[in-house]
């Protein structure tokens, strides 16, 4: 049932432009002949495509290599600085911003604390300042920002509006994408933070070789993001992965248990050091977490389960018990790994989502 539109010759050019461009981006800088070999296209075609891309501003000719045999080849490079994207993590306690070029190289980061009790306008203004400061600090003209993506806890609907937030005051109903779009006057997207973190992990983290991924962002209130076939699955109302809502899962009060006496970090540290009482509490937490994780794993049957968020820093102190409980609950539990990015992952996922948008819309597929 694949709806396939017919095409004339210009479709070929589109396809070949796409292929050449993505090959060039993988290579960084490359010669015509080399690109031809990689893509399987003739040198002529590659040349025509690159000429067009140069005109459009996406590609720049680089000085030829010296000291090699034979006539020096013309070299071309993708103009990663032709545009930039911004990923923003609007969290409960802090705002993290990453600015990246079109290669996804992060050129600037920003991190500011924000009160968990901050009202929505205050939080949004803090995010705006952080985003602008990050772009300005990188020496990037604001006009060259092509897309912004924001991630935040809670349910974010298809239009980028926060349709339900349990933890942040006044956050429900905020049109996050709409607001973020006005920061730079470009298109903006918004999604749940765990969703973005999952994207980041699949892009450059520990989930690179997995196709179906469940990512659980553990913290005060765990959230989850799902990748199906390497692509973000958000669901009808953007609520995919919100398994924590189910009372039977017990995610609501899982963390309460953990922070009852002292901070969570201390508990993990003590458990790691051999404190039996702390280990027991971590085990209880892991057990709670495993029920929700198992529900997601059984529903989706992913290749990989990634654990991220603040508590994931505890590493195997948390992952060990979690694996054990998960194995008890599931027919065949997938591999469980920790996130490779710390609390940068949401902003980095925002970068990826924004890049996806740019690649689709601006580069034109």
Partner DNA sequence: CCACTTATGTAACCAGTTTCCGTATGTCGG
Partner DNA sequence: CCGACATACGGAAACTGGTTACATAAGTGG
Residues that bind a copy of itself (CB under 8 A): 1-9, 11-12, 15-16, 18-20, 22, 39-41, 155, 164, 203, 212, 226, 228-230, 233-243, 245-249, 291, 294-296, 298-303, 329-332, 334, 356, 365
Of residues 29, 38, 62, 73, which one binds DNA by CB under 7 A? 73
Helices 345-357 and 193-204: angle between axes, nearest 10 degrees: 80
Q: How far is the CB of 364 from DNA (least distance, A)?
A: 13
Q: How far is the CB of 329 from a copy of itself (least distance, A)?
A: 6
How far, in Å, CA of 88 to CA of 268, rounded?
28
Establish if 28 lies at the interface with DNA (CB under 7 A).
no
Only one residue has tokens 């920061």, namely: 183
Q: How far is the CB of 208 from a copy of itself (least distance, A)?
A: 11
41/217 with CB nearer DNA: 41
- N-term to C-term CA, the chain: 21
Of residues 28, 33, 166, 253, which one binds DNA by CB under 7 A? 33
Interaction with DNA in 37-66: which residues (CB under 7 A)?
Answer: 40-45, 47-49, 66
Give the gyration radius of the chain's Cα atoms. 23
59/336 with CB nearer DNA: 59
Q: How far is the CB of 94 from a copy of itself (least distance, A)?
A: 26
DSSP secondary structure, 113-178, as one string: E--TT--HHHHHHHHHHHHHHHHHHTT--GGGEEEEEEEESSEE-TTS-EEE-SSSTT-TT--HHH
For 204, the token pair is 């450059």
Q: How far is the CB of 308 from a copy of itself (least distance, A)?
A: 18
Q: How far is the CB of 102 from DNA (least distance, A)?
A: 23
Establish if 9 lies at the interface with DNA (CB under 7 A).
yes
Choosing among DNA, a copy of itself, none, which partner's interface includes residue 313 (Cβ < 5 to 8 Å by kind)?
none
Choosing among a copy of itself, DNA, none, which partner's interface includes residue 3 (Cβ < 5 to 8 Å by kind)?
a copy of itself
Measured from the Cβ of residue 187, the count of other Cβ atoms closer than 10 Å reads: 18
In DSSP terms, which residues pair with 150 in a beta bridge?
Answer: 88, 190
In DSSP terms, which residues pair with 78 in a beta bridge?
Answer: 59
Those residues with Cβ within 8 angstroms of residue 24's Cβ, 6 or more apart along the chain or in another chain: 30, 35, 50, 59, 76, 77, 78
How far, in Å, CA of 321 to CA of 178, rounded?
42
Task: Give the footprint of DNA on this chain (CB under 7 A).
Answer: 6, 8-10, 12-13, 15-16, 31-34, 40-45, 47-49, 66-74
């Amino acid at each position: 049932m694949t709806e396939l539109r017919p095409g004339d010759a210009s479709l070929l050019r589109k396809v070949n432009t796409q292929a050449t461009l993505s090959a060039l981006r993988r290579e960084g800088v490359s010669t015509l002949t080399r690109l031809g070999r990689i893509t399987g296209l003739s040198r002529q075609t590659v040349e025509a495509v690159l000429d067009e891309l140069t005109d459009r501003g996406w590609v720049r000719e680089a000085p030829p290599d010296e000291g090699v045999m034979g006539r020096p080849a013309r070299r071309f490079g993708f103009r990663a600085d032709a545009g930039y994207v911004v990923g923003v993590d609007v969290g409960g306690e802090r705002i993290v911003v990453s600015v990246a070029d079109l290669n996804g190289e992060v050129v600037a980061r920003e991190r500011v604390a924000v009160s968990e009790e901050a009202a929505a306008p205050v939080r949004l203004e803090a995010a705006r300042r952080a985003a602008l400061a990050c772009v300005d600090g990188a020496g990037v003209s604001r006009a060259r920002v092509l897309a912004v993506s924001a991630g935040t806890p809670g349910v974010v609907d298809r239009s980028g509006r926060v349709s339900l937030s349990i933890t942040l005051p006044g956050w429900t109903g905020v049109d996050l994408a709409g607001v973020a779009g006005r920061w730079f006057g470009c298109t903006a997207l918004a999604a749940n933070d765990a969703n973005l973190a999952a994207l980041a992990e699949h892009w450059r983290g520990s989930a690179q070789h997995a196709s179906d991924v469940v990512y659980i962002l553990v913290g005060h209130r765990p959230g989850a993001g799902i990748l199906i076939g390497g692509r973000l699955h958000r669901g009808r109302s953007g609520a995919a992965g919100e398994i924590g809502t189910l009372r039977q899962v017990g995610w609501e009060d899982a963390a309460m248990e953990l922070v009852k006496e002292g901070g969570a970090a201390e508990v993990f540290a003590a458990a790691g050091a051999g404190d039996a009482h702390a280990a027991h509490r971590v085990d209880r937490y892991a057990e709670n977490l495993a029920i929700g994780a198992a529900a997601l794993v059984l529903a989706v049957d992913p290749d990989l389960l990634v654990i991220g968020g603040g508590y994931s820093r505890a590493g195997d102190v948390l992952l060990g018990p979690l694996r054990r409980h998960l194995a008890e609950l599931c027919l065949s539990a997938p591999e469980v790994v920790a996130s490779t990015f710390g609390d940068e992952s949401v902003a980095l996922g925002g970068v990826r989502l924004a890049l996806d948008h740019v690649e689709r819309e601006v580069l034109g597929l």
